[in-house]
Structure 1
Amino acid sequence: MYKQIAAELLAKSLNKSAEEIEEQMERPKQLQHGDYAFPCFALAKEKRQAPQIIAAELANDLSHDVFSGITARGGYVNFKLDKQIAGSRVLRSIHQQRERYGSAAVGQGQVVAIDLSSPNIAKPFSMGHLRSTVIGNSISLLLEKQGYEVVRINHVGDWGTQFGKLMCAYEKWGEEAKVRSNTIPELLKLYIRFHEEAANDEQLEQEGREWFRKLEQGDAYANKLWRWFRDASMEEFERVYQLMGVRFDSDAGEAFYNDKMERVIEELEQKKLLSWSEGAQVVRLDEQELPPSLIKKKDGATLYATRDLAAAIYRKETYGFSESLYVVGHEQSLHFRQLKLVLKKMGYEWADGISHLSFGMVLQDGKKMSTRKGKLVLLDKVLKQAIQLAAANIAKKNPELADKEEVARQVGVGAVLFHDLKHERIRDIEFSLEDMLRVEGETGPYVQYTHARACTLLTKAGDIRCDSEVAAAIAADAWPILSLLMQFPEAVADAIANHDPSRIAKYVIDLAQAFNSYYGKVRILDEDDDLGARLAIVKAVAIVLAEGLRLLGIAAPKQM
């Protein structure tokens, strides 16, 4: 709000648009220099003056009652907010709006379809699928905060040659009783064994392909095995999703589109977009200097591209999305570029609303985790270890805590989720259980503990009324907190614009650190004239920390 006021003042003086000015505005690195800064360097050539002179002239001309000072410093125009006015206004807004603070209606009436998580059936839920799940879930929550209707889609990998290989392995080495009692781990062992044996036996690969061909042709036994593997996998996945608090509106996987691909192929033929290449059918993308999109293989089998074209068209017709987001690793970037271009060639202008939100990998010893080689870390085990550690900390530090098991779950799961989400979406993450489970520093438990501390202070204060009119006597100590509270709506908008939840994770860390610094300097519950104002700050921090954690898909316990 105040940044917009500063931008409008500058825009009027410079005869430019406020939106253009606001994009150029920055926050000074030192809070004492001001709350907003406008760099004048780009104006130097246009005005044929030194940036320092332009800044000085602008600062001299501008004024507004919400700013206690507008000054020039080294080619910047710095805007310093009136602490009393701005501080009391932000506290009033947070107290009145509570969890709605930072919300907007920009997405009202618009639907966003988001493809996230998408694990492969008959394989354990590994750390490799954590990123898509938690990033996609957080982006969904952020979009909903701006008024969008979000359709969460779990496009599970439940079709393909790998299932023929698994069926082949089960028939050769599987024991039904073992697999039924411990389905996913036993299937994983069979899958790994298949690839170990196939390295020395070329015939095995052919047998795997034969089994998948049976499945495609509707063989009753192959279909029975596939259904068993899928149902057991979905049950296992749902248990993990519930633990993390993640939900979906659709779990229509790859197999769902089996009867929807022929329409796509016929449409491509009618529009004369298919070409032959080495016996396969493709859509050429030469004009974009990209390799062709492979639609049908020599043997008539369809591919990911065919399936994803059918899925995109189905989702548009079913949900009427304005945007369709795919939270999938960066190694699939070419595939999604091709998907979008083929849809455009088919005449679907809505393909402009498709975005691939790529992300970095979870690495182990600098290498990608591999199910095929058995090199993976199971998410279920990591979550359980995190919960056990949280429970041990509670037993040691607060054994009388009510709902100990639930709080341990919230803190343990929060630690794992926050460790992922605090990293920028596009960066790779090195898996480290030790770092993930730390409860100090830039971690989820640290933010949760700060929220619980604020809630405890409010409980101890009892019926004492919060006063959102910030007294001048405490403004200096509290200003770093108040300044950050004002930035929450910007942080939300920034996270959505960049589809990057790490912006929210960094924000709640900064707010938690500012509050703990304040807590260390000020006796908050001292009964003096400023007690109501201090409690107003504590209450606002508790509200915003809880909402920031919620947008990351993390719970905010009131006691720890």
Structure 2
Amino acid sequence: MKTKLAFLISKALNESLSVEEIESLLEIPKYAHLGDISFPCFTLAKKLKKSPQLIAKEIAEKIQGDFIQEVRAEQAYVNVFFHQLQVANNVIEKVLLEKHHFGTKEKNGQKVVLDFSSPNIAKPFSMGHLRSTVIGNALANISEKLGYEAIRINHLGDWGTQFGKLIVAYQLWGNLQAIEQNPIEELLKIYVKFHEEAEKEESLNDKAREAFKALEDGNEEAHALWKWFRDASLKEFEDIYQMLGVSFNSYHGEAFYNDKMGSVVEELINKGLLEESDGAMVVQLEEMPPCLMMKKDGATLYATRDLAAAMYRYNLYEPAKIFYVVGHEQSLHFKQLFAVLKKMGYQWSENLMHVPFGMMLKDGKKMSTRKGKVVLLADVLAETMQAARKNIEEKNPQLKNKEKVANEVGIGAVIFNDLKNERMNDIEFSIEKMVTFEGETGPYVQYTNARIQTLLNKGKFSFTESHLNYLDGEAWEVIKLIETFPHVIETAFVQANPSTIAKFSLQLARSFNKYYANTKFLTNDELQRERLKVAYAVSILLQESLRLLGIKAPKEM
């Protein structure tokens, strides 16, 4: 409706403002008696050299459409009332015919590459890794909804100085039997111990640098240890990914690009971009620090590998866009990376986008693996699933598939708790908030959908095409929300922000529950059928919203 209305207003203004500009100005009035949508005219006063009140009056006299019931000029606002029954019929029929495809675009033949999750090998999968994983997975789902082929890449942190530290730590304190029995936990112990000891004995850091250089140079013992650490970690990561319902097209981590960096460095030299600075090799950049490509000892860095990775991915996939879902503390790194690619003459560098996000905090501080201050994601998921199990036993002990539903609700609670937040906000870790199944939570949205499923079963509802002849007042508020769903998905993609969809699902669930609380649905008459059609449409969109976020929607709870 917004786009249609924006087109009419643009026409009334002789296209002095574009449809897009008008759409961005449209507002939802705070009170229903002020209309369904409102257009403020303040910004036009200077441009049109008229008072905003006069502009509002002139626009109100010119716009008309079959979906518009009334237009009022009130002060500096154009307040528009839609033809409720007509709009409701159009929206509901479309949703019920298209079902989960509502808002879906046809395949466009283009690819989107998403670099996300990317945990470090030989370290546990902590709550700190959750954000990149669930934001990236949701963006991949949203991309597919909008017609793209999503290429999911797990750029594993399987290279770098930390492996030198781990190799030295293993050689000094490693217990083969203990590590084989519980690899990640034992490797974390010796990694933390390395940092504790290195604070007392600086020479350990030198040994770690030497060990990593040996690994880079192909030392057999170092490589065997590295491979062992990597394989053990991947097995544990895969268990977590299965629980979260996340999969990848590629697990090519940093190590994969070792043999591809030489040609990148050579290209930088040939293009006259690489220069020496205090013994290291850098690319000079405008308005930001130089990008370091090689250390004094010849060891490569993140930037070298990320350059090689970007070029490899572009040549392999030719994507329309590459998303890097990495914490905001890496913002400078990605600005430098994109700037270097641009200096190299690659215009496609403009299609690369860093998707930063805030930190997961514990007691107001960033979680740190090296200091041992870490909360394991597996432990959190186990606790939320147990809380869901307890909730089911108390409220619905006869429920079928209790274990499956408890897992879906518990895991959904963790994912939703992350994705409902604005991407750039830090999140304070709190098990209590995650296991609260009321308020702004995933279980609240899941429960609303399950409640509607029960309602549809009791009302023996089956969809047949027929027009609505009646619409309740609260139903109109629900319809207006449903109508915005395709726009919500587009916004989530453009802003790379899945919280838009999470917030929509909460708003829709709240709006429906208000309608449900004030209306009797099972009346065994024509009104029952009309109300259940609206309920069915809500259920479809709640399920689809949860699916896009990577969350299951059990039919019973």
By the TM > 0.5 criterion, same fold? Answer: yes
Letter in 1 for 2:300: T
Deviation at 1:213, TM superposition (A): 2.0
Which residue pairs with 1:63 in the alignment?
Answer: 64
1:477 Cα deviation from its structure 2 partner: 2.8
The one-letter code matched in structure 2 to 1:163 is F
1:360 to 346, 358, 361: 358
> Does residue 1:40 correspond to 2:41, yes or no?
yes
- Cα distance in 2 between the residues matched to 1:61 and 1:310: 57
What is aligned with 2:99? 98
> Which blocks of at least 5 consecutive residues in structure 2 are unaligned?
none
**Pair 1:304 & 2:315 matched:** no
- Check whether the contact 2:474–2:514 (CA below 8 A) recurs between aligned residues: no
Deviation of 1:20 after TM superposition, in Å, equals: 2.9
Match of 1:172 in 2: 172
Offset of 1:463 from its aligned partner? 5.1
Residues 1:393 and 2:394 aligned together: no
Runs of 4+ in 1 over 4 A off after TM superposition: 463-468
Cα shift at 1:528: 2.1
Distance in 2 separating the partners of 1:78 and 1:228: 67
Report the residue type matching 2:233 in the other structure. Answer: S
Q: What is the aligned partner in structure 2 of residue 228 from structure 1?
A: 228
Q: Are the aligned partners of 2:6 and 2:23 in contact in 1 as well (CA < 8 Å)?
A: yes
> 1:33: Cα distance to partner?
1.9
- Superposed, 1:385-534 pairs within 5 Å as 385-462=383-460, 469-472=467-470, 474-534=471-531
Q: CA deviation at 1:197?
A: 0.8
Shift of 1:343: 0.6
Amino acid at match of 2:42: F
For 2:65, give the aligned amino acid. Answer: H
Q: Which residue is equivalent to 2:154? A: 154
Letter in 2 for 1:401: L
Partner deviation per Cα, 1:117-173 (whole Å, 9 max, x = no partner): 000000000111100000111111111111011111100100111111111111111
Q: What is the deviation of 1:468?
A: 5.3
3-state secondary structure, aligned to 2:137? helix
2:4 aligns with 5
> Map of 1:158-307 to 2, 5 A cutoff?
158-285=158-285, 288-307=286-305
Amino acid at match of 1:281: M
Return the letter of the residue paired with 2:262: E
TM-score relative to the length of structure 1? 0.97
Counterparts of 2:141 and 2:73, CA distance in 1: 40
- 8 Å Cα contact 1:467/1:535 also seen in 2: no
Q: Distance in 2 between matches of 1:314 and 1:283?
A: 20
The range that moved more, 40-49 or 355-364, is 40-49
Structure 2: distance between partners of 1:68 and 1:330: 47
**Deviation string, structure 1 residues 402-422 (Cα, Å, up to 9, x no partner):** 111111111000000000000
Residue 344 (structure 1) aligned with residue 342 (structure 2): yes
Amino acid aligned to 1:15: N
Counterpart residue type for residue 492 of structure 1:
I
CA contact (8 A) 1:467 1:533 kept: no
Secondary structure of the corresponding residue to residue 69 of structure 1: strand
* Secondary structure, aligned partner of 2:293: strand
Equivalent-residue separation in structure 2 for 1:271 and 1:177 (angstroms): 52
The alignment yields a C-alpha RMSD, in angstroms, of 1.2
Cα distance, 1:464 vs structure 2:
5.7
Question: Is this contact kept in 1: 2:461–2:532, CA < 8 A?
Answer: no
- What TM-score, normalized to structure 2? 0.98
Residue 382 (structure 2) aligns with: 384
Distance 2:464 2:453 in 1: 13
Structure 1 residues 400 and 45, CA gap change in structure 2 (3 angstroms): same
Change in 2 beyond 3 A, CA 1:232/1:468:
farther
Q: CA deviation at 1:518?
A: 1.1
Q: Which runs of 5+ in 1 are unaligned?
A: none
SS at match of 2:214: helix
Q: What is the SS of the residue equivalent to 1:530?
A: helix
Give me the whole-angstrom Cα distance separating, in 1, the residues matched to 2:415 and 2:237.
16
Choose 206-215 or 247-256, whichever is displaced more. 206-215
Instruction: Give the aligned residue type for 2:493.
Output: I
Name the % identity.
Answer: 53
Contact 1:464 1:532 in 2 (8 A): no
Q: Measure how far apart 1:74 and its partner are.
A: 2.8
